[in-house]
Amino acid sequence: MPTRQHSTCHQGSLVCVGTGLNLAGQISVLSKSYIENADVVFSLVPDGFAQHWLETLNSDVRSLQPYYAQGDEIKNRRDTYDQMVQAILNAVRAGKKVVCALYGHPGVFACVSHFAIELAREEGYSAKMEPGISAEACLWADLGIDPGHSGHQSFEASQFMFYKHTPDPTTHLLLWQIGIAGEHTLTEFHTSSDRLQVLVEQLNEWYPLDHEIILYEAANLPIQQPRVDKFPLKDLPFARLTDSSTLLIPPSRKLELNHEILAKLGITAADLG
């Protein structure tokens, strides 16, 4: 966790906003206004196009990307996140209106925003988050799936592997950050075929090896198309993965009626159509 420091100046403020997935087109009017009117904007976006677009909105945009390990440097991501948080908070402590602009949704797989808001509030500053369009929102739209039809479960891939989660094969299963599945050192940004094979064997408890799964990546630019690769579960260890890859496992079984509850409600199977 970030080091706690206390300040007597409480004029500064922090707003963490989401830029969405697709450049310029998926940010809310309110979030864009916060960026335009900020004294300082810290950014964590996927490419130079997004960075340049932010710089057209505000004259002081500072990328947080340099805090990641560079070249052959080995650096724990916890140290990286702590340094990012301190950079953001130092500007807040200086009495500035600070915005942290993050790719997608600022509160989904984005611990920097949560750490920074928590620390700012502890020190007596105004701090809040504005939602953005997430990869999950894009996924449902691009794949034409209504998650309300059968429900869905969502896990970070490594957490799913490390803990005893039990997926429901009658619902959609989302595994996030599949590109680093099984990585526990917080120093690597990729997984391996051996780790993915372990995940396949784990999933095989609920899903057949020939069950079709979907590798998804949202488009970053209006001229791009989303990546939607379909293949059997057994082929996952050989898939090309990136840091934006998400794994969707569709249901392998049909929903089962709960006849006991239906009886208590006075409902029959025929009533449900």
d(CA 201, CA 98): 46
Nearest to 244 by CA among 73, 100, 61, 50: 50
Catalytic position from the list 81, 125, 207, 216: 81
Query: Does 103 participate in catalysis according to the annotation?
Result: yes
Largest pairwise CA distance in the chain: 67
Clarify whether 77 is annotated catalytic: yes
Contact 36, 121 (CB under 8 A): no
Q: Which of 34, 67, 93, 103 is catalytic?
A: 103
Residue 68 falls in the annotated catalytic set: no
Q: Say how far apart CA 20 and CA 137 lie, in whole Å.
A: 10
Q: Which two tokens mark 242?
A: 């990136």
User: Hey, CA dihedral for 159, 44, 35, 26, is it positive or negative?
Assistant: negative
| Catalytic sites, residue numbers | 77, 81, 103
